[in-house]
Structure 1
Amino acid sequence: MATVAPGPDTNEAPTLIGLTAALHFVSLTTYGARMYTRSRPVLRLGWDDYFITAAVICDMVEWTLLMTSTGYGLGRHNFYLAPGSAMQAEKFLFISQPPFAWALAFTKISIACMLLRIQRSQGWMIFLYLMMVLQVLTAVTINTFQFSLCDPVAAIWDPSIPGAKCKPPIVGQISIYVTAAVTILTDVIFSLLPLTFIVRIQRAMREKIALSCIMGLGLIASFGSIFKTTLVKHYGVTGDTLRDGVGLSIWSVMEVQLA
């Protein structure tokens, strides 16, 4: 933690809350409209609907925990926070991360399930099932690493625990870069896959438009992932983790909403 005041005691939490709330309003409205049309006049939900519902649940858990962290000081300079408040902010910021990995994984599995309904060739199905497995393995790997950063885990937000052992920051950065590479790669793949068949498939125009929108949003999400990755090397360098966490949190939420 910095021993010299890093600047005035300002708070970037309102920006985080405002932007992420707006993104959630749009995504939840779209999700609600999707589920309504799939339920009327008869219920015709598919696996893609179930997985996107799981993604929404994980995302809301992650966002709720993130918003709780702002109540304790996320968005302010660590320097101005009481140790107890800073500890709680770090705690809720950390525990918001595991469900984020699953929100992203379930979103992409939902897209794969949707593509399976459109194309049923053997090679296509094998490829998409492998992509689903990759999403699960990526989420499991991210969670495993997150909970192995410190022994005990509580030392992540409370470094004063006697005998605690934590991995060097560079290890965490390398892990983030590797998982980000996988995330960006799958974003691009899912965005470009429809190009292989969208022109020739015999589907309603609204389905083709929906696929085109998914392609565009997927590419935007991949750019968001790239930008978020560039922020990692600056995170916590000066000990101002709760201030630095705002940018990463905004781009992480955007990544899930656009994926």
Structure 2
Amino acid sequence: MGNIHIGYKGQQLLAVMWVETSLAGGIIGLRWYTRSFVGGRVGPDDFILMASWVLMLAFACLISAAVHYGMGTHVSQLDIDQVTHGVLMILIGQSAVALAMGLSKTAVAIFLMRIVTKTWHKIVLWFWIVTIMFLSLLVAIAVFAQCTPTKSIWDPRVKAAGQVCHMNLALAAEVLCSWSAAMDFFLAVYPWFVLWSVNIKRKERITICISLSLGVFAGICGVVRTTGLDAINKTTDYLFAVSDSVMWTMSELTLTIICVSVPALRPLYNRVTGGSSSGGHGAYYQQNDTKLTGTGTGTGNFQMNPIGKDTTKQYDVEIGTGHTKGLDSGSDDFILHNTDKPEGGIQRHTEITTTYDDDLSAVSTKQHV
């Protein structure tokens, strides 16, 4: 194989791909940090989104290798070995990114499932999860199961000796891309209809709805990618023609990760800008006499001693459930606090606000059912 000069298309592909992969990785890192140390808790959607990004990273590495072998370069400038190795890297990457695409949409649906309360809302989300993962797995497997001998898929010399194909990968890929784009649009609109009946603050509801609405842009990327698949499948200059499709794929993945991460990053934003945070901002507390967690009912006395600057700390105490926490109004635990309860249930809450002003303190309590 001769040395490849990476042309404009290859350079553009590498730049877009690694900027978006790094951006998505940074967003997920901040999301994980926020839920672990600032507000909320790590949930299934976080693990699924992390798995999606790992596959996205693998895809970026494989496409980088494909660029080294000639992806983004016209086939007339490549020898047969370069074409063979380049196509093989792309095929492996297609399997990885098909799963990444399905997992990223699943993470959004799982995030919504943690908030919605009605059974039919969850059934609708499960329908999308099952269908997108089925199609993703189908395409991931079909990439290498479509023809025999398997090597004939990427090596034209083996293909010329005889190839038998059992399924149409191009059709399966078009169905997956179309369904993925449709799911982007659905997940962008769905929260506006189902979250208005959920008992969360209006500000949190709007934050979630607007951030997930960014999925419209992911859907647009999916539509552009899908409309170009037919031309790619018919071209004889595959390594060059497929480059744009890869960039649209990466953009769709990145936008999906961003839109589902914005609500989770709100506690971190509050901390950085001086708002409330579950861990406090610039002040620390020593807690004595009575733990703020436990079981049983009734009331108790507790004392909080401030260390640091004057501040206010708020706790939401569930009486009768034995569950107490310091909550940030923007944290996942706050948003999801009332949505995990069965419909029709009644809980009594005691809201305790302790305000420290120099050496004086005032405690006020408010109970509601």
Relative to the length of structure 1, the TM-score reads: 0.87
Residues 193-224 of structure 1 show CA distances to partners (whole Å, capped at 9, x for unaligned) of 101134454435356424412222x1111111
Q: Name the structure with the higher strand share.
A: 2
Q: In structure 2, what is the equivalent of residue 45 of structure 1? A: 42
Q: In structure 1, what is the equivalent of residue 211 of structure 2? A: 213
What is the CA-CA distance between 1:16 and the residue it aligns to?
A: 0.3
Moved more, 41-50 or 72-81: 41-50
CA pair 78-164 structure 1, distance change in 2 beyond 3 A? same
CA distance in 2, matches of 1:145, 1:79: 28
244, 249, 252: which is aligned to 1:247?
A: 244
- What pairs up with 1:145-164 in 2 under 5 angstroms? 145-161=142-158, 163-164=161-162
79, 83, 105: which is aligned to 1:108?
A: 105
Q: Which has the higher contact order (CA 8 A, sep 6+)?
A: 1
What is the CA-CA distance between 1:41 and the residue it aligns to?
A: 5.0
- What pairs up with 1:177-192 in 2 under 5 angstroms? 177-192=174-189
CA distance in 2, matches of 1:206, 1:23: 27
Q: Is the 8 A contact 1:236 1:244 kept in 2?
A: no
Equivalent pairs, count: 249
CA distance in 2, matches of 1:109, 1:139: 11
Q: In structure 2, what is the equivalent of residue 222 of structure 1? A: 219
Q: In structure 1, what is the equivalent of residue 20 of structure 2? A: 23
Moved more, 19-28 or 88-97: 19-28
Unaligned stretches of 5+ residues in structure 2: 1-5, 257-369
Aligned-partner SS, 1:118? coil
Identity percentage of aligned residues? 20
CA distance in 1, matches of 2:150, 2:8: 28
Moved more, 174-183 or 220-229: 174-183
Moved more, 205-214 or 53-62: 205-214
What is the CA-CA distance between 1:94 and the residue it aligns to?
A: 0.9
CA distance in 2, matches of 1:42, 1:30: 16
Q: Is the 8 A contact 1:27 1:257 kept in 2?
A: yes
Q: In structure 2, what is the equivalent of residue 6 of structure 1? A: none
RMSD: 2.3
CA pair 157-146 structure 1, distance change in 2 beyond 3 A? same
CA distance in 1, matches of 2:164, 2:218: 32
CA distance in 2, matches of 1:60, 1:90: 18
Matched, 1:143 2:140: yes
Unaligned stretches of 5+ residues in structure 1: 1-8
Q: Is the 8 A contact 1:190 1:215 kept in 2?
A: yes
Q: In structure 2, what is the equivalent of residue 58 of structure 1? A: 55
1:213 is matched by which residue type in structure 2?
Answer: S
CA distance in 1, matches of 2:39, 2:184: 32
Q: Name the structure with the higher helix share.
A: 1
CA pair 238-101 structure 1, distance change in 2 beyond 3 A? closer
1:22 is matched by which residue type in structure 2?
Answer: V
CA distance in 1, matches of 2:121, 2:195: 14
Residues 20-78 of structure 1 show CA distances to partners (whole Å, capped at 9, x for unaligned) of 12212221221111001011058821111111111111111111111111111111111
CA pair 64-206 structure 1, distance change in 2 beyond 3 A? farther
1:141 is matched by which residue type in structure 2?
Answer: L
CA pair 83-124 structure 1, distance change in 2 beyond 3 A? same
